[in-house]
Structure formats: structure tokens, C-alpha cells
Amino acid sequence: MSGRVSVLDDAAELRPRAVSGRAPDVFSREDCVPMAQFRDEEEVDFAIVGTGCGGGVLAAKLAEAGGSVVAFDAGPFFRPLADFASDEREQEKLYWLEERISDGENPIELGSNNSGRCVGGSTVHFQMVALRFRPEWFQARTKLGYGADWPVDWREMWRYYEEVEKACSISGPIRYPWGPKRGRYPYRAHEVNAAGLVLARGAEALGIDWAPTPLCTLSAPHGKSPPCVYRGMCKIGCSTNAKQSVLVTYIPRALAAGAEIRDLATVGRIETDRWGRATGVAYFREGRWRFQKARHVIVAGYSIETPRLLLNSHSARHPDGLANSSGLVGRHLMVHSNHAVWAEFDEEIRWYKGPPSMACCEHWNYADDDPTKDFDGGYAFMSQGPLPSDFATSIVTNSGEFGMDLRARMAKYNRMAGLKMVGETMPQADNRVTLSEGKDDLGLPRPRVTFGYCDNDKRLYAHALDFMGRMIEAAEGKNRFETEGTAHLMGGCRMGEDPKTSVVNADGRSWDVPNLWVCDGSLMPTGGGVNPSMTILANAARIADRMIAAGRRGEV
């Protein structure tokens, strides 16, 4: 790209880097690429809040279709090659560590556990497991009798999975054992590490299928990204750019197509006029509040920040928050139960090598007729590879072990293997995000996240613990122990076909405010038993096309 300029700037967390008509070149250590810049008073076509799966895809596709786009992110704009260390503590800078209140029957861990805060969103530190929904989950209510239907046909989603898998160069097996036939993954599968082979051995012993996990990291070079070197630190940010996060895929596309990205820019409110239409966003950057005018506002801040922003954008016309005439903003928040079994092995596994989850099993997402299946929904599970601090913290928070016992247990680090589930939870109206009394440093009400498992959720994870326990034993694991936890966020602004039972329609357009849209994980009416990013990306790619088509019809 021409016009490269070198800058020697401060840490990305301290000062915005996407300024003065240039943005960080994520493939360099210190270079920039040119970037369009819009004035606050200029009414842009789209102001997008958040640059993760939802926001990143929209910014790229809408800009490529000729729209003027400004995308805001509360977090920094990193250059992985220069900014990412091989160090768990240093890399906490990727997470949303602002205080959020967690309550309910089973309060969930937030922060590093489920939300990122940087350009590229949570994909900068996600673990790259790239799975598709089971088709029936898009009609869970009609076809399977639980949850809610998506206002989207699975075959349409299937085409968009293909689109985003190509854009992220997903590496995966030639034949995937579960679900409808799909084409080959764009890149060949990675060699499965020893931790993954434990899952394989267990699955073979129990006579069920397993697969090398489709992963969002390169098995061969692509563009300016090198292939994965199996460094294993994907969860704390990939410092080689092998990981195909939104930061190195859709964001460069968005910039090249003329979108502006504003880093370290927190949107605090969506403003509306007296007819109730959105006029733009109030955002805080470089020490002061500003206002960006926009014809359309798209909220893509994920399942906590999206409802928080909508609720905080209340006005005389929208006293309960924007887009909230249904009362459903913030409700039906879902997580995945993330319980695990761990065991010691005779051989050295050294699970720190390679992406953490190189083998997976979706058996229980498809085994409807199994007589032992005593729950609705499904679960997948994967092999594991936590880094030392991550593993130690999950042991102590679960068991309270300390002292020499803990050190001795940790000394078995290289002989451990684990199986961890991604378990579907039911959408429940009372699992929700609300605003608390307390304020953050910018004066914005802190979110309160309320979560509790229902009986079905509990049966589901109990089943998974039992099954994974048998499997790890079949793989000859000894001294088994269990941990519990949650992962991922979904729902909070569900999409649907009826304004009374959903916040937005199938296009992500809010029922109440015609130029206000939502496009991120909060749209999901059901969570499914797989990691959500591919579904969020595919849904965003679909919504982008719907918006572009509506624009051509003059409806946007």
C-alpha cells in the first residue's frame, strides 16, 4: 500500500492510533495505512459501535458497497507483531476489565472469561474453534420443542458460513462427521497435538466420532499472514498474525474500502430526535465527549455492552431505553456451560503446544435418540491447553486447593489433558443485563448481569461431566477431577418475527427505531451447543447483504 508512514507512538492503550488520516498497519511493527476520516458534523451513512465479529464484518461490507462508515471501539488498536508478548499477565490488556456487577443464582465470571476490548473485539483473544450451528437450532422451538426460532432459514446461513469461513481461511478436515454435508474447509486441517489425541483415543474407545477441530488459524500462508507456529498462546493474542481474527481480516478490508475506525472511543449514548429517530452517537475520545452525526446507528458491542448502551440511551420518547418497547432489551442472555474433566497421563502431553482445542466432539449435538439424553439442547466438547496461570486459577477457584498440594498438582502440568464442554443453556427471560446504580469513570451506569441455570441446563452439564469423565477414563487418564465454569455470551437483544417478542427483525433493524440496528452476538435467540463466533460472523455477513439490498431499494 502506498503512503506508508512510520510512527513511533505510545502504547496503544494510552493514545488513539487511528488518527490524522492513518491507522495502524496490523501486519507491521510500526507502520500505518491510509484511512478515511470524517468530521463529527458530517452525517455519515453508518456509525457502528464495536469492531468485533458483528461490527468488523459490517464495517468492511458496508464500506465495500460504497457506504460512508465510522466504526468505534472502546479499546486500543494493536499491532500484534509489536504489541503482543508471550505473557499471560501482560496480555490482560486485551480484555474488558471495567467493573461489571455479576449476580443471580449462578453469577458468571466476566472480564477475561468472555469479553474483549480492542479493535477486532473478542476475536483477538478467542480460541479459534470455528464450528457451525446444527441446522435445527435455527428453528429450535418448531423442530426441537425448546427455546425460540430464529427468523432465518438455515440454508441461507449455510451459504454465509461458507463466506466467512473463506474470509477467515478456516482450516479443517476434509470430511466433518456431523451435520449436513459441507464443502471442504478452505485450508487443510492442522496436525492434532497430543492433547487432541487423548480425545481421539477416548472417542475411539467409546465408539463415537471425533474430528480435528476446524480452526481460525492458518495451516498455510495467506496474504501477509504466516502459518501457525503452534505457539499455543492464542487466548492471550497471537503475536504472529497466523490467527485470522477480525483485526487482521475484516478490519484491513474495511480500512481499504474507506471506512474510518476510531479506537479508544467509547460510545456512551445514542441520541434520538423528537420523532424518535437516531441522529448519531455521543462518544468519549481523547479526554472529551463528542457527537458523530449518522443516518444509521448499528450497535455491535456484544451481549452486555449492546443492551447497556440501548438502555442508557433512554429519552422522553423511549423512557425504558431505545428499541425496548417489547421490554426485552437485555433479556434472554445466554452463556455456555463450560465444565471440564481433567486427568493425568503416563505420557507427556505438553498441551501448551498448538491451539488449545485441536480435537472436538459434537456427538451430543446430534444424538437426539440416545436414551440417556435427558435434556433439551446439546453440547460439544474439545481437548484443552490452558496456559499455567489460567490452569492454576481454574483449579483454585473451583477447589480452593493451596500450598504444596497445589504446587505438586501444577508440577503435573505436562502430563495433564482435559475435555471441556460448550453446553447450550436455555434462553430465560430473567437471565439479563440491567443498569446498576453505580457509575463508571465516564459517568455511565455500570451493567449488572444476572444469571442462573435452569433445571435443563443442570441436567445437560451433569450429563456432559459424566460422559466426558467416562471418555477420559477410556483414554487412560488417572486421578480425574472436575471444574465448572461458563464461557461465551449470547442473546440480550434477540431477533425475531414479532415486535412483541423480539427487539429487532431478521435484518437486525430495531422494531421501534427504523434507523437503529443491532448486529452482534446479542441477536441470537438460541445459543446452540457450539462456540458462537462463526455464527455471529455469518449472521453479520447476511445482515450486511440485507442492508445493502434494502439500500438499493431505497429503504435504508
Partner 1 sequence: MTDDRFDSPYPRYDVLEKWDTPSYNDQTREALAKRMDEVPPRRFFTAAEFTTLQAVCARVVPQPGRAAPVPIAPFIDSDLHAGRGTGTRYAAMPDDRTAWRQGMAAIDAEAKARHGSTFAELADAQQDSILSAINQGECAASGAWRDLPAQDFFRKLLLKWIVSVYYVHPAAMSEIGYGGPASPRGYVRLGPNEADPWEAPLSEKGARQ
* Residues 250-309 close enough to bind ligand FAD by CB under 6 A: 266-267, 300-302, 305, 309
Which of ligand SF4, partner 1, ligand FAD, none does 90 bind, CB closer than 5 to 8 A by kind? partner 1
User: Binding ligand FAD by CB under 6 A: which of 427, 508, 521, 527?
Assistant: 521
d(CA 543, CA 150): 13
* Span interacting with ligand SF4, options 26-34, 235-243, 255-263, 517-525, rule CB under 6 A: 235-243
Q: In this complex, which beta carbon is closest to partner 1, that of residue 138 or of residue 391?
A: 391
Residue (of 383, 341, 357) closest to 484 by Cα position:
341
Q: Supply the DSSP string of 359-388, one letter for each residue.
A: EEE-HHHH-TT-TT--SSS-EEEEE----H
Residues 59-118 that bind ligand FAD (CB under 6 A): 72-75, 114-118
Which of partner 1, ligand FAD, ligand SF4, none does 102 bind, CB closer than 5 to 8 A by kind? partner 1
Which of partner 1, ligand FAD, ligand SF4, none does 126 bind, CB closer than 5 to 8 A by kind? ligand FAD
Q: In this complex, which beta carbon is closest to ligand SF4, that of residue 228 or of residue 419?
A: 228
d(CA 268, CA 520): 18
- Residue 381: CB minimum distance to ligand FAD, A: 13
User: Binding ligand SF4 by CB under 6 A: which of 143, 188, 231, 317?
Assistant: 231
Residue (of 368, 77, 352, 354) closest to 190 by Cα position:
354
Which of ligand SF4, partner 1, ligand FAD, none does 291 bind, CB closer than 5 to 8 A by kind? none
Provide the β-strand partners of residue 31: 6
d(CA 182, CA 472): 30
- Residue 509: CB minimum distance to partner 1, A: 31
Specify the pairing of strand 334-337 against strand 171-172. Answer: unpaired
Residues touching ligand FAD, count (CB under 6 A):
40
- Residue 536: CB minimum distance to ligand FAD, A: 5
Tally Cβ neighbours within 10 Å of residue 81. Answer: 16
d(CA 38, CA 292): 9
Which of ligand FAD, partner 1, ligand SF4, none does 397 bind, CB closer than 5 to 8 A by kind? partner 1
Residues 148/526, Cβ–Cβ less than 8 Å: yes
Told to check if 355 binds ligand SF4 by CB under 6 A, we report: yes
User: Binding ligand SF4 by CB under 6 A: which of 242, 298, 387, 513?
Assistant: 242
Specify the pairing of strand 187-188 against strand 171-172. Answer: parallel
Q: In this complex, which beta carbon is closest to partner 1, that of residue 98 or of residue 424?
A: 98
Residues 424/202, Cβ–Cβ less than 8 Å: no
Which of partner 1, ligand FAD, ligand SF4, none does 243 bind, CB closer than 5 to 8 A by kind? ligand SF4
User: Binding ligand SF4 by CB under 6 A: which of 211, 234, 328, 360?
Assistant: 234
Contacts of residue 228, Cβ cutoff 8 Å, sequence gap at least 6: 190, 217, 218, 219, 240, 242, 243, 354, 355
d(CA 271, CA 232): 43
Told to check if 17 binds ligand FAD by CB under 6 A, we report: no
In the complex, the residues that contact ligand SF4 under the rule CB under 6 A are 217, 228-234, 238, 240, 242-243, 354-355
